Amino acid sequence: MADTNFFENRRGSAGADAATMKFMGKLNRFLIVALAACAVFAGRALAQNSDGTGTLEFAAFVSPTGAKPEPVREFTFYVLTKSFDDIKHEIEEANGAPNRDKFIEGLKLSPELREWLKHHETLDLTLPGTDRQITPDDILHVPEFLAAYQRSNSGGVANGIPKPKYKDSDKSDHPEKYEKEHDSYFKALKGYIQGHPESVAGIELEMEGINPAKKWAEAQNSFKRRVNQQAPMLAQTRYLTIKVDTNLDGRARITRLPAGSYWLSTLDMEAGAGDSRLKWDVPITVPAGQTLRIELTNLNSTETAKFK
């Protein structure tokens, strides 16, 4: 009698072998795909390394006061070969910032006051505390200071203050008399100022008409506007490597970036969220064949750098 179990066992074994072969076929195909992907990745990394390029990945976030960080969405960032701040300095040097001494020389003031301004830091003669910088000799030597002092102490507010006896007409008609009375007045006035230093207080209130601060501020602001107009153009025409926009998550990626040192910058554009307005000009170094990852936040913005 034939052994039917033998044939049944053979059929079962054949089915298991077929299933095993099918599984192995799938596994081999998976391994081939995985190896191919690895080969592609390795090939790209090798190519990136061999041609001296790398990858830059970054994310940008702005943190309003007392709130969570918000991504900087769809915002343009610039990879520069020079710091944007240094680019501004380059333009300033090329155009020549307003020269303080030259500005003072062009003022329609007495030579004595122009000389005084050159030797003092302030250009705002109306600032509180200016009176403490003015000595009795300054008042006697600088015509504008003398006139301001006399106005400040006119109307009987200062008891016992000397009054001039000389007349301007005597300067030509009776020069010796003029000189004697002039010297006598200045000697008496100096003694009074030294004995009554409080009489100098408030002299700055009488110098609004001769104050050069406004003109100096206008000259500086005009120069800054020119620099701010020219800097973005120079950055993009001479020092730009590439620019990229962030996605809705505030992230961006640049591949095949030549290895080297750069600055990741927003130029003069501000990224805002709530009460925070930030700019970035961050130095980075991209290594060959590798990926540099960086996060831009309030902590490495140019606004924070000002306080370091």
pLDDT score recorded for residue 38: 46
**CA angle at 251 for the pair 283 and 297, rounded to the nearest 5°:** 50
The pTM of the full predicted model, rounded to 2 decimals, is: 0.64
Q: Is the CB of residue 78 less than 8 Å from the CB of residue 236?
A: yes
Q: What contacts 55, CB < 8 A, 6 or more positions away?
A: 48, 253, 254, 255, 256, 257, 286, 290, 291, 292
| Domain ranges, ordered by start, for the chain | 1-50, 54-81+239-305, 108-211
> Smallest Cα–Cα separation from 255: which of 286, 278, 300, 279?
286
- CATH architecture of the domain 54-81+239-305 equals Sandwich (2.60)
Q: Is the CB of residue 289 less than 8 Å from the CB of residue 54?
A: yes
From first to last of its 308 residues, the chain has per-residue pLDDT tens of 444 444 444 444 445 455 445 545 554 564 454 444 444 444 454 444 558 999 999 999 999 998 999 999 999 999 999 999 999 999 999 988 899 999 999 999 999 999 999 999 999 999 999 999 999 999 999 999 999 999 999 877 778 899 888 888 878 888 898 899 999 999 999 999 999 999 999 999 999 999 999 999 999 999 999 999 999 999 999 999 999 999 999 999 999 999 999 999 999 999 999 999 999 999 999 999 999 999 999 999 997 655 44
pLDDT score recorded for residue 170: 77
pLDDT score recorded for residue 128: 92
Cite the DSSP H helix spans in the chain: 4-50, 84-95, 100-105, 111-118, 136-141, 143-152, 170-173, 175-195, 213-238, 302-305
Pairing of strands 271-273, 260-265: unpaired
- For residues 134 and 69, give the distance between their C-alpha atoms in angstroms, rounded to a whole number: 52
pLDDT score recorded for residue 29: 61
pLDDT score recorded for residue 236: 97
